[in-house]
Chains A and B, each alone.
Chain A
Amino acid sequence: MHTAAHAMLFLLPQTTGYIFPNEAEMPWSLLIVVYPYLTGLVAGAFILASLVKVFNVKELQPVYRLSLLTALAFLLIAPLPLLLHLGHPERSYEIFLTPNLTSAMAMFGFVYAWYLMVVLLLEIWFTYRRELIVWSQGERTVMKVVYRVLSLFSVDTSEESAAFDRKAIKVITIVGIPSAFLLHGYVGFIFGSVKANPWWSSVLMPIVFLFSAIVSGIALVTFLYMVLTTLRRERINMACLDKMASFLFYAVILDFSLEFLDFIHRLYESEESIKILSELVMNRLFFSLGVIQVLLGMFVPLGIMVLIRVLRLDEELRKLLYFVAVILIQLGIFATRWNVVIGGQMFSKSFRGLMEYKAKIGGMDGFLMTLVLLVLPFIVLTVLIKVLPPWDRPESVAR
Chain B
Amino acid sequence: MERRRFVKKSLTLLAEAGVLGGMVAAANKSARAEPKGYDASKHYYGMGIQIDKCIGCGKCVEACKEENNVPRDVAHFRTWVERYVIEQDGGVVVERVDPGSSGSHEPIPNENTVRTFFVPKLCNQCDNPPCVQVCPVGATFKTEDGVILVDADRCIGCRYCIQACPYGARYLNPLTDTADKCTFCYHRITKGLLPACVEVCPTQARIFGDIDSPASPLARFRRMNKLHVLKPSLNTEPKVQYADLDGEVR
Interface residues of A in 80-106 (CB under 8 A from B): 82, 85-89, 91-92, 94-95, 98-100, 102-106
B130 near A195 with CB under 8 A, answer: yes
User: How far is the CB of B71 from the nearest CB of chain A, in Å?
Assistant: 8
Interface residues of B in 49-94 (CB under 8 A from A): 72-77, 80, 82, 92-94
Contacts of A88 in B (CB 8 A): 155-157, 177-178
* Complex CA–CA separation, A73 to B77 (angstroms): 42
In the complex, which of the residues A103, A105, A195 contacts B234, with contact meaning CB atoms closer than 8 Å? A195
In the complex, which of the residues A22, A92, A190 contacts B168, with contact meaning CB atoms closer than 8 Å? A22
* Complex CA–CA separation, A335 to B154 (angstroms): 34
In the complex, which of the residues B94, B154, B164 contacts A196, with contact meaning CB atoms closer than 8 Å? B164
Binds A, one of B132-140, B196-204, B205-213: B132-140
B137 near A99 with CB under 8 A, answer: yes
- Report how many residues on chain B are interfacial, defined by Cβ distance under 8 Å: 47
A21 near B137 with CB under 8 A, answer: no
B170 near A22 with CB under 8 A, answer: yes
Query: Known contacts A99-B136, A349-B166, A350-B168; is A105 also within 8 Å of B158 by CB?
Result: yes
A1 near B72 with CB under 8 A, answer: yes
B136 near A105 with CB under 8 A, answer: yes
* Complex CA–CA separation, A240 to B176 (angstroms): 54
Contacts of B137 in A (CB 8 A): 91, 94-95, 98-100, 106
B77 near A22 with CB under 8 A, answer: yes
* Complex CA–CA separation, A19 to B82 (angstroms): 10
Q: How does the 8 Å CB contact mask read for A11-52 relative to B, with 1 for contact and 0 for none?
A: 010000011111111011000000000000000000000000
Q: Is the interface of A mostly helix, strand, loop or mixed?
A: loop
Binds B, one of A2-10, A160-168, A294-302, A315-323: A2-10
- Report how many residues on chain A are interfacial, defined by Cβ distance under 8 Å: 46
B169 at the binding interface (Cβ < 8 Å): yes
Which chain A residue shows the least CB distance to B140? Answer: A100
User: How far is the CB of A241 from the nearest CB of chain B, in Å?
Assistant: 41
In the complex, which of the residues A8, A27, A108, A348 contacts B136, with contact meaning CB atoms closer than 8 Å? A108
Q: How does the 8 Å CB contact mask read for B104-138 relative to A, with 1 for contact and 0 for none?
A: 00000000000000000100000000101111111
Contacts of A87 in B (CB 8 A): 155-159, 172, 176-178
Which residues of chain A have a CB within 8 Å of any CB of chain B? 1, 4-5, 8-9, 12, 18-25, 27-28, 82, 85-89, 91-92, 94-95, 98-100, 102-106, 108, 190, 194-197, 345, 348-352
Closest 5 CB pairs of A and B: A87-B157, A20-B168, A87-B177, A196-B166, A27-B159
Can you give 12 A-B contacts (C-beta < 8 A)? A12-B74, A22-B162, A23-B168, A95-B156, A100-B135, A105-B134, A105-B158, A194-B163, A194-B164, A195-B130, A349-B168, A350-B94
